[in-house]
Amino acid sequence: MTLTLRQMRAAVAVARAGSLGRAAAQLHLSQPTLTVQLREAEAALGLRLFDRGARGAELTAAGQGLVESFARLLEELDAVVAGAREAAAGRSGLVRLAVLPSVGATVLPPVLARLRAANPGIRVVVRDAVARGVVALVKSGAVEIGIGTEIEPDPEIGVTPLFEDRMVAVLPAGHRFEACRAVSVADLAGEALVLMDPESSVRALFDRACREAGVSPLPACEATYMSTAVALVRAGLGVGVLPSSAVDLRVAPVLRTRPIVGPEIRRAISVVRRAGRSLSPAAAALAEGLLAGGGGAARPPSGRKRRAP
């Protein structure tokens, strides 16, 4: 015979109540049913847990240590079950997320703030990564979801469109392009340029547009972080090519931006996950928050948000 959780709970309840009658009431059982459970527990263990008499039910010496152990095990089990239910409801859990730095600095923070306000038990670990890095982290299982761009078709990856971002020319104060409504890729080829790292999605898109336009500009400066690129533009070292969602542009009002045309450069930002794998409830809550967008707070400037079909 195997000892059951129900029998363990019965033994703990009787030990705490001091009588079968009070324990049965607390467990919403009849006293005969509770008596049967105790007998079955003692039979499974091969020893007596309680001495029953006029003063109620008293633990035996052997029963004392066992019932204390039962109580600890049940408390731990109840905590695990409660935690699982919280996680299943999306109210707790850990989510590992890989994100493009530009998106991590703009779209992500307000989404995380709303997620924490609604579900303070959810923790999110964020890893900045370039476009290829986002996909690699998702495929390896190092993160559960990613926010990336320029994602090649891959049967191992599921992609849900989030929004579209466009590239803009970021102008040093007083630059002649301020008189223009837009700037062509060919025009930029003749300028000192502040460009992103060649491994970034922003740089890959600009290089592709230059090839289409038949020009080969040489960067005056290259930067890994957009905050660095904006600082270089502010110092007058060149015209920057950055996504319109770059958060630093909001805190650098002295700088002006102009759309890039001929060709226009856009990038689709998407939520990435492993195909055929269920998201944890916490990750699903984060993904839902990203897709919901929450209005203008989560939408990058000049970007167009798209919902998944």
Residue 249: predicted pLDDT: 53
Residues 150, 139: Cα–Cα separation, whole Å = 15
Amino acid at 210: C
**108 belongs to a structural domain:** yes
Regarding whether 134 and 9 lie in a shared domain, the answer is: no
Q: What is the CATH number of the domain that holds 145?
A: 3.40.190.10
Residue 114 has pLDDT above 50, yes or no: yes
**309 belongs to a structural domain:** no
What is the span of the domain harbouring residue 260? 165-266
Regarding whether 250 and 186 lie in a shared domain, the answer is: yes
Residue 307 has pLDDT above 80, yes or no: no
With vertex at residue 37, the alpha carbon angle to CA 32 and CA 40, rounded to the nearest 5 degrees, is 125
Question: What is the percent of the chain where pLDDT is above 90?
Answer: 35
Please say whether the beta carbons of 156 and 274 come within 8 A.
yes
**48 belongs to a structural domain:** yes
Residue 225: predicted pLDDT: 82
Residues 6+ apart with CB under 8 A from 163: 107, 269, 293, 299, 300, 303, 304, 305, 306
Please say whether the beta carbons of 230 and 255 come within 8 A.
yes
Residue 1: predicted pLDDT: 64
Report, as an integer, the average pLDDT of 211-221.
Answer: 91
Residue 259: predicted pLDDT: 92
Residue 248 has pLDDT above 70, yes or no: no
Measured CA to CA in angstroms, residue 71 lies from 65, 68, 227 at distances of 10, 5, 56
Q: What is the CATH number of the domain that holds 28?
A: 1.10.10.10
Residue 186 has pLDDT above 90, yes or no: yes
Q: Which residue has the higher pLDDT, 1 or 9?
A: 9
Residues 190, 255: Cα–Cα separation, whole Å = 20
How many structural domains compose the chain?
3
Regarding whether 252 and 176 lie in a shared domain, the answer is: yes
Most confident range, picked from 16-20, 63-67, 190-194:
190-194
